Structure 1
């Protein structure tokens, strides 16, 4: 099939979404499909730039900036983004290109107008991959009320859903949200698990034995540090673990909350915590080989279900998890059922600290723990199955 994949994250970005989309695009090509990735870029001085990455045709289209700016400018930039991309696509060598199918990735929720235009010109079906149900999660967390901003974002999201023939959500618990959408004829709703392909294994630039955490059993958090993650409770955990000098917490990544969290850790004099910048995704296996467990955090006010990309990287590399997540999240049942770590749904640091001790004991005594993590990844989260599922639906 000739497929266009539309997104706003892709290498050289190092976010979990960029890594996922890189892996997805490589697998489309590996399975014999002709894939073109359409991306916005605020860094271009010309309307478009065409390149080839690992057999994937990548067309970057000039568009407004949407990252590392305030929320108002980001909203304006994202609203204008699909229109800018469409205008500059028509100036590119691919202006007359026609596709057999369109696939797009949300976030962002603003790709609808671009997808709609390309869907009409190509007379093809479309598949929406939803990883965040926005603005619902922001409403749940109290980041916005039901006023004008919420109604605006909800209308944008509804338009995006209306363009899709198939929607893939990341967890069974999210199916309920789209029950009314599915009532329209010929619409298909399915669970599309998150995915990863095996990374290249290169030596990690982080050497824990050369840091203040040397000699400790290290629990690692690798990924975005934003409001949605609710990472403060992990610093509370670190404070409780100060009485256990053989345990440390390592945070690797970036995000809107990372600077504040660093200052908080310093003010608490947490010598068992270390913050480091994000690394190349291919360094992750060697980083995890230096750690004993992975940390997952989701803000307790979430009501939707989320299986973060970092969880997949832990499973892929055989790291059990210590998770602090919203009550009722499908991820909690998965961790318990597969016996791949410990999960706290109360958001109470006392419970989290107790479960952390239990996990450390489990790591020492459960010889099959690492293999269970790897088997779960191979069964549910391999990118080969993801591409086969998308193509079958289209």
Structure 2
């Protein structure tokens, strides 16, 4: 089968680890022909180009700067990307006929590209819904509900759902949300297709873990509660800082590792408060980050309490892979906390409820971390490996082709 994958994630190598690279590698290894259409921002000064490497085709499309730029360029860039992708596909892949268009949100602005390939090649389309936009921007007060921009984006969102033959959502709560707010969608085309990875298990000896902790100057004899990943508005990190301030257990030490729009704010808080029970590190290369994670004890997930959309952060998979129990402090609408508790691999907290947070920290201090961690690995293997995503997509395509 010939597959084209449209993404806003910059993919330079299919051998890197990540939810998209792992899935696309699975398609390649199963003998499919994979073309990845990925942005290369203008600040990189690389023209649009097409190459074959590592058994896949990569079409890099020169775009405006979309990440880490001002709101004007980001807005124009997001709207322009549809036309830039369309022009690049027409120019560089006219020799290929695709059977499947695979794409993820963000963005919601690929409709014209998807329609073009579907019509030209009689292809099927599958949306991996990782982000419910524009509602998430409304939740974060970044967009005015029912304002001009919001209405434009809702129109684009509805169009994207309409032209998708299948919509794969990250969890049952996401399926319910999509159908509740888009009653025009045929429920048969919406299914759970979660974030999935090819797990890599890290077995470090006690000596190795000690040397990793020494390298980063982290206490050797405390329970390390780690938050790793994006430090942005959606994570509601004020509650994490409040938790650091309120935690009085001597044996607990917090570690924050990451990057994002809130990093300067968090860095300033660390300078002003100089907490003795916490450390802040800037984003590390994936390999170093994995090593550091393996030397920690408990993974933390934070989401802003104002979300009405059920987010499902992929960082959960990194924690499960490391056999780490998880504490998830989230809004009441996501089901990530319920999934963690039902699998008996951690605890959930409603973001903003500090008393509840302290109770769960106390619980985790007396829990059998090894048992919780092993339960986490079971959850990962049962629900979140790429074979699951791959099989779901293949089943759907077979079904649609036979109709």
Fold similarity call, TM over 0.5: yes
Please give the alpha-carbon distance, in whole angstroms, between the structure 1 residues aligned to 2:246 and 2:163.
49
Of the structure 1 ranges 2-11 and 178-187, higher mean CA displacement relative to structure 2 is found in: 178-187
Q: What are the superposed Cα offsets for residues 76-97 of structure 1, whole Å, 9 maximum, x if unpaired? A: 10000110122133332x2332
Please give the alpha-carbon distance, in whole angstroms, between the structure 1 residues aligned to 2:327 and 2:187.
41
Alignment correspondent of 1:329: 334
SS at match of 2:50: strand
Instruction: State whether structure 2 residue 231 is matched by structure 1 residue 230.
Output: no
Of the structure 1 ranges 148-157 and 201-210, higher mean CA displacement relative to structure 2 is found in: 201-210
Q: What are the superposed Cα offsets for residues 47-78 of structure 1, whole Å, 9 maximum, x if unpaired? A: 42233453222111112211111223211100
Confirm or deny: 8 A CA contact 2:174 2:310 kept in the other structure.
yes
Give matches, 1:22-33, under 5 Å.
22-33=21-32
SS at match of 1:223: strand
Please give the alpha-carbon distance, in whole angstroms, between the structure 2 residues aligned to 1:265 and 1:330.
31
Confirm or deny: 8 A CA contact 1:228 1:299 kept in the other structure.
yes
Alignment correspondent of 1:217: 223
Q: What are the superposed Cα offsets for residues 309-360 of structure 1, whole Å, 9 maximum, x if unpaired? A: 1011111221111111011421121122111112111522222122112112
Alignment correspondent of 1:239: 245
SS at match of 2:230: coil
Alignment correspondent of 2:160: 160
Structure 2: tracts of 5 or more residues without a match: 398-403
Please give the alpha-carbon distance, in whole angstroms, between the structure 1 residues aligned to 2:351 and 2:311.
17
Alignment correspondent of 1:263: 268
Alignment correspondent of 1:290: 295
Please give the alpha-carbon distance, in whole angstroms, between the structure 2 residues aligned to 1:305 and 1:219.
24
Inter-CA distance 49–346: structure 2 relative to 1 (3 Å threshold): closer
Inter-CA distance 236–12: structure 2 relative to 1 (3 Å threshold): farther
Instruction: State whether structure 2 residue 42 is matched by structure 1 residue 51.
Output: no
Alignment correspondent of 2:357: 352
Alignment correspondent of 1:368: 371
Instruction: State whether structure 2 residue 130 is matched by structure 1 residue 127.
Output: no
Alignment correspondent of 1:252: 257
Structure 1: tracts of 5 or more residues without a match: none
Confirm or deny: 8 A CA contact 1:48 1:88 kept in the other structure.
yes
Please give the alpha-carbon distance, in whole angstroms, between the structure 1 residues aligned to 2:163 and 2:108.
12
Give matches, 1:43-122, under 5 Å.
43=42, 45=45, 47-92=47-92, 94-122=93-121
Q: Could you tell me the TM-score, scaled by structure 2's length?
A: 0.89
SS at match of 2:91: coil
Q: What CA RMSD, in Å, does the superposition of the two structures yield over aligned residues?
A: 2.6
Q: 1:184: Cα distance to partner?
A: 5.5
Please give the alpha-carbon distance, in whole angstroms, between the structure 1 residues aligned to 2:38 and 2:77.
14
SS at match of 1:127: strand
Of the structure 1 ranges 185-194 and 325-334, higher mean CA displacement relative to structure 2 is found in: 185-194
Confirm or deny: 8 A CA contact 2:323 2:370 kept in the other structure.
no
Please give the alpha-carbon distance, in whole angstroms, between the structure 1 residues aligned to 2:153 and 2:186.
25
Q: 1:382 aligns with which of 358, 382, 385?
A: 385
Number of aligned residues: 388
Of the structure 1 ranges 245-254 and 27-36, higher mean CA displacement relative to structure 2 is found in: 245-254
Please give the alpha-carbon distance, in whole angstroms, between the structure 2 residues aligned to 1:367 and 1:7.
37
Please give the alpha-carbon distance, in whole angstroms, between the structure 2 residues aligned to 1:367 and 1:294.
13
Q: Could you tell me the TM-score, scaled by structure 1's length?
A: 0.91
Alignment correspondent of 1:196: 197
